[in-house]
Structure 1
Amino acid sequence: MLDAASLFDLSEFEHASLFTEGDFVWSALNKLKSYMDKASYPELDRALIENGKPLTETVILHNGRYLPATGLEIIFDDATKGKLSVMREGTRLEGATVIMAGAILMGDRIAFGKGVLVESGAMIKSPTIIGDCCEVRQAAYLRGYCLAGKRCVLGHATEIKHSIFLNDAKAGHFAYLGDSILGTNANLGAGTKFANLKMVSGNIYIQHEGKEYDTGRRKLGAILGDDSQTGCNSVTNPGTIFGKRCMLMPNVTSRAGFHRAKSFIR
C-alpha cells in the first residue's frame, strides 16, 4: 500500500521510470535529482531569453526554435485543453509554446513540451521539465528539480521545489509544495500547504498499519494518489500520503502517515 502501484496509474506518464516496482513511493523523490541531472535539455536562445532577467518581449518556442512573438497572433485559451494557439498569417503553429514577457528563466536546464503557457512574472529555476499543454501561471515560483507531466497547472503565486506532478495534476492558486508528488488528476484547493520539514530534527517516519517506516528523508511533504484533492487553506504535516480519491476538507490540517483510498479527512 506504500508503493507507486497502489497510488498511481503510470501507464501514460512519460517519467514512470522514476518509480521502481515494489519500492516505497517516496523513493522516486530520492531519485529525482539524478534523473533530472542526466536528462537532456534543449539550448535556450540567449539572444531572446537572458539568464535570470525578465523577458522584455514574449517568446514563442516552435519546432525546437525560439522566435520573437512580433507579427504573430496569440490566442490565450486554456492550454491544458490544447486551446492555446499561435497564428502566423492565419496558419496555426502547431504545438507552439508561449513564454510571456516578464517571465524569468534561471539556468540552462529548462525544458518545455508543446503547447505550454508560461505567464508573466513566473520564475523558473534550473533544472525544470514541463510537459505538453501545461500552464505556469503568473507569479509561480519553481525553485528547481520540478518535473511536470502533461496538462498540469503550476499555479498563481504557487511555490514548488523538488516535486513531481503526474499528468493532469493541478496546484492552481497560492500553494506550497516541497518534496512532494501529485498523482494523476490530483487537485489542490487555493492556499494548500504541504509542510515538508519537521519542527524537530531527524528523519520523517510514516505510520501505517501499526508499523513505522523510516523514509530516510529529513524533508518529505505530501504524496497524493490519483484523483485526490484538498480543500482551500488546508495543510498536510510532513510525511503525509493519501491513497487514491481521498478528500481533505477546507481549513483542515491532516495528520502525517498513510490515509487509505477514498478517505474523507475533516
Structure 2
Amino acid sequence: MVSPSDLFDLEEATFKELFKGVDLVWDVLDRIKSFTADLVDYAGHTGALLRGGGEVLPRTVVLHRGRVFDCDYKLLGGDPTKGEMRVFLNGQEVTDAAVVYAGAVFLDDQVHIAPGAVVEPGALFKGPTYIGPGTEVRQGAYLRGSCLVGVGCVVGHTTEMKSSIMMDGAKAGHFAYLGDSILGRNVNLGAGTKLANLKILERPYHLKAGDSVYHVARRKFGAIMGDGAQTGCNSVTNPGTVLGRGSLVAPCTSVPAGYYKPKSVIR
C-alpha cells in the first residue's frame, strides 16, 4: 500500500532509478538531494552557462546544445508542456531549445534546464535542481534546492518548492507550496494548495495502512500524492499525508495526516 509501485507507475517514469530498492515510499525523500546533484552533473550545468551566482539575468536567452544565444533568435510562444513552444535560431526552427527569460536568477550553477523547458522572469533557482524537458517554470517561482522536476510539468506563479519531486506531467500552477513532498504523474494542485511539511510538535508520524501501522521518525514530511491525485483550490495537506492514486481533495479542505487509499474523496 505504501511502496513506490503502489503509488506510481514506474515502468516509464523519468526518475524510476530513484525508487529502486525502496520499500516505503517516504524513504525516497532522503535520496532526493544526492540523486538530483548526480543528475545535474550528468546532464550538464545550465547555471554555469548562465554564470549562476545571484545576478539577475539581464537578457532573454535561448539555450541550445550547450550554447547560449542572446541574439539572432525568434520566439513565437506556445505551451511548452504540450510541445508547442516555437523557437527559431538564425532563421531556422529548432525543437530542442530551452528559453530563459530576462529576470530569472540562478544563485549557483547546480541547475539544469532541459531542452524544451521555459523559465519565465523572476524565477529563482538554488541547486541542486533539475528541470525536465517541456516544463514551464512560471514568473516568480522559487525553487530552493533539491528540486527534481520531470517532463511537461508546471512550477507555477509564486510557487515555492524544496526537497521535492514532481513526476512527469505534475502541475502546481498557482500559489502552491511543496516541501519534502512527491507528486506522482499527472498530479494537479489547485491554486493555493499547501503541502505542509513540519509538525508544530516534534513527534514521529504514525500512518495506518491496512493492518499495518508505520512510525516515521523524520522531522520534515510533506505529502506524497499518487499518480493522478488532485487537490482543490486553497486546500492544505497536513504533514505526513499519503494520498493513493486518483484521490481527490475538495477545495478549502484541511487533510488530516495519514494514508488514504486509492480514489479517496476527501472533503
Establish whether TM, by shorter chain, passes 0.5.
Answer: yes
Give the counterpart letter for 2:207 in structure 1.
I
Equivalent residue number for residue 117 of structure 1: 118
Quick one: distance in 1 between partners of 2:235 and 2:150? 24
Give the counterpart letter for 1:256 in structure 2.
A
Quick one: distance in 1 between partners of 2:83 and 2:154? 13
Partner SS state of residue 241, structure 1: strand
Aligned length: 265
Matched, 1:25 2:25: yes
Equivalent residue number for residue 185 of structure 2: 184
Q: TM-score, normalised by structure 1?
A: 0.95
1:51-200 to structure 2, matched below 5 A, reads: 51-68=53-70, 70-200=71-201
Backbone CA RMSD of aligned residues: 1.6
Paired residues of 1:204 and 1:219 also in contact (CA < 8 A): no
Report the CA distance shift for 1:162/1:61 in structure 2 as closer, same or farther (over 3 A): same
Q: TM-score, normalised by structure 2?
A: 0.95
- Once the two structures are TM-superposed, the CA of residue 129 in structure 1 deviates from its matched residue by 0.3
Partner SS state of residue 26, structure 1: helix
Give the counterpart letter for 2:61 in structure 1.
V
Partner SS state of residue 29, structure 1: helix
Give the counterpart letter for 2:204 in structure 1.
N
Quick one: distance in 2 between partners of 1:45 and 1:231? 34
Report the CA distance shift for 1:259/1:66 in structure 2 as closer, same or farther (over 3 A): same
- Once the two structures are TM-superposed, the CA of residue 22 in structure 1 deviates from its matched residue by 5.5
Matched, 1:241 2:242: yes
Paired residues of 1:193 and 1:236 also in contact (CA < 8 A): yes
CA deviations 1:23-43 (Å, max 9, x no partner) are 101111111122223331524
Partner SS state of residue 73, structure 1: strand
- Once the two structures are TM-superposed, the CA of residue 72 in structure 1 deviates from its matched residue by 1.1
Quick one: distance in 1 between partners of 2:47 and 2:202? 43
Quick one: distance in 1 between partners of 2:134 and 2:91? 21
Paired residues of 2:51 and 2:109 also in contact (CA < 8 A): no
Report the CA distance shift for 1:194/1:45 in structure 2 as closer, same or farther (over 3 A): closer
Paired residues of 2:13 and 2:168 also in contact (CA < 8 A): yes
Paired residues of 1:19 and 1:27 also in contact (CA < 8 A): no
Q: Which runs of 5+ in 1 are unaligned?
A: none
Higher helix share: 2
Q: Structure 1 residues 98-107 or 40-49, which shifts more?
A: 40-49
Equivalent residue number for residue 8 of structure 1: 8
Partner SS state of residue 218, structure 2: coil
Paired residues of 2:22 and 2:28 also in contact (CA < 8 A): no
Quick one: distance in 1 between partners of 2:73 and 2:22? 49
